Structure 1
């Protein structure tokens, strides 16, 4: 049930982000679209990149929060990957990604000794107890 709710939420978010098909009154006309060439598109992309580079200078608080969020997300992804690899039977990765998973270790499997695997002794069916 939770999966269906999450799927419905992400589908709604995706549909809100996608542009609506069809002509719009405030969009570029066909002649405007034809006048855009590769050089002007490249210049616009360069201006956008330079504007994004200056964002942290204009909004240092937003950059601090964003970097902390990315760091937390990276740690969670590393821990999830380590847990998945451990579950699938591989060795845990070494390095920074393995550090968060150290708290989430599971006990080793197949720890029985050959003496543990021997069946328990049973009295033969025809023998009498003394």
Structure 2
């Protein structure tokens, strides 16, 4: 429940600073109304909202119980997902460290590269047989 309150608070703070209604013909508040809203008034309104929300569970215990169960389920799923990612990363890291060390880059000499060229025989160079075209 506290997570939802914190999230709502930070979203409302974000929305105070995002410029909405910059068009003068929009239906948003005009410059005079925006100037009338100061930080202290907004903080007082937020405090009143939090005090009202804190009494919500006493007024609606069923809704709080359902919300608590939903948050518990989301938390369990998040923990299971984090455990799955952690085990995947651990097995991936273990597989990388348990394999043979990576070969270092070596330079091949011209004799080694020329020895591997032209190794096909004449029968290898003949095209494959194809039947008559239908």
TM-score of the superposition, structure 1-length normalised?
A: 0.48
TM-score of the superposition, structure 2-length normalised?
A: 0.46
Greater RCO, CA 8 A, separation 6+:
2
Structure 1 or 2, whichever has the larger Rg, is: 2
